[in-house]
Amino acid sequence: MSLDASPTSAAGQDGETHRKAGGGNALRAAVLGANDGLVSNLSLVMGVAGAEVSARNVLLTGLAGLVAGACSMAMGEWLSVNSSREMTQRQIDGEAKALEADPNREKRELVAIYVAKGLDEADASALADKLFQSKDAALDTLAREELGVDPEELGGSAWAAAISSFCLFATGAIFPVAPFIFASGGPAVTASLVLSGIALAVIGAVTARFTGRTVLFSAGRQLLIGYLAAAITYGVGRLIGVTVS
Ligand SMILES: [Zn+2]
């Protein structure tokens, strides 16, 4: 299943392949969450640094940005998991009602789906008959085939998703702001850019594992996008800083 022939996947091919199949989505979500925090806070920090405010103010702004962003991400994730669960549940309930009201019609719908998938009429009917012997099996199959949802997977815990989003965003967001705890002015800005650059490159390199691009390309692309966002807000901050003062 592994299409990339990058040197990183050369070692332990077997274990690697299994991990990719199992934890791919979690890794992807983790990397994207950290990237959100990193890019948005790097931009924020560079924006205020561009306006040449004191290191203390940059630090306060960066920390506020970290907390605000992490909370917003956590709430968004919580809402997303809950609302998608409720939406799926509502669709399944609707299908259950339809099954109760007119089971034959639902059976004909299922037969039509199987025929569209390439089964001949007789096989499709036999299969549908068998599945419709049990109400649970019928509803489960209708949910999967008609709605395209897996009733077993109505989303994990909304709270777990919220907490993990909060932590991931905060982890990414700490890099650009941390240097302002110890330094100020040009050295702090430089340290912030270097530290964030390393984090961007690492995130890019990790994305290479599931995009199939090379590590170098992915790291470079991530670095370019992150710095571009920072350069834009730095420019805006500088412009407004000059105008205001
Ligand atoms: Zn139906």
Mean pLDDT across the stretch 62-68?
97
Asked whether 95 and 142 are in contact (CB, 8 A), the reply is yes
CA distance 176 to 39: 9
pLDDT of 245: 65
pLDDT of 53: 86
Distance (angstroms) between ligand 1 centre and the Cα of 85 equals: 19
Distance (angstroms) between ligand 1 centre and the Cα of 99 equals: 7
- pLDDT above 80 for 5: no
pLDDT of 23: 55
What are the contacts of 147-155 at 24+ separation with CB within 8 A?
Answer: 147/88, 147/91, 147/92, 147/95, 149/88, 149/91, 149/92, 151/92, 154/85, 154/88, 154/89, 155/81, 155/82, 155/84, 155/85, 155/88
pLDDT (tens digit per residue) in 15-28: 444 444 445 678 88
pLDDT of 241: 82
Q: How many residues does the chain have?
A: 245
Distance (angstroms) between ligand 1 centre and the Cα of 131 equals: 14
pLDDT of 2: 39
Average per-residue pLDDT in the chain? 88
Distance (angstroms) between ligand 1 centre and the Cα of 147 equals: 8
Q: What percent of the chain has pLDDT over 90?
A: 72
pLDDT (tens digit per residue) in 189-245: 999 999 999 999 999 999 998 888 999 999 999 999 999 999 999 999 989 887 776
**Domain residue limits, the chain:** 36-244
Distance (angstroms) between ligand 1 centre and the Cα of 119 equals: 19
Q: Lowest mean pLDDT: which of 54-68, 86-100, 151-165, 193-207?
A: 151-165
From the list 46, 38, 47, the residue with the least C-alpha distance to 202 is: 38
Mean pLDDT across the stretch 55-61?
94
Distance (angstroms) between ligand 1 centre and the Cα of 158 equals: 28
Distance (angstroms) between ligand 1 centre and the Cα of 34 equals: 41
- pLDDT above 50 for 13: no
Band (11; pLDDT cuts 50, 70, 90): very low
pLDDT of 25: 77
- pLDDT above 60 for 155: yes
Mean pLDDT across the stretch 104-111?
95
Distance (angstroms) between ligand 1 centre and the Cα of 112 equals: 11
Distance (angstroms) between ligand 1 centre and the Cα of 98 equals: 6
Q: What percent of the chain has pLDDT over 70?
A: 90
- pLDDT above 50 for 178: yes
Per-residue tokens: 200: 């961007």
Q: Which residues hold their Cβ within 5 A of ligand 1, which is an ion?
A: 98, 106, 109, 146
> Is the Cα torsion angle 211, 214, 217, 218 positive or negative in sign?
positive
pLDDT of 244: 73
Distance (angstroms) between ligand 1 centre and the Cα of 157 equals: 28
Distance (angstroms) between ligand 1 centre and the Cα of 109 equals: 6
Distance (angstroms) between ligand 1 centre and the Cα of 97 equals: 9
By CB atoms closer than 10 A (0-12, 13-18, 19+), residue 45 is: buried
Asked whether 192 and 67 are in contact (CB, 8 A), the reply is no
pLDDT (tens digit per residue) in 117-141: 999 999 999 999 999 999 999 999 9
pLDDT of 151: 81
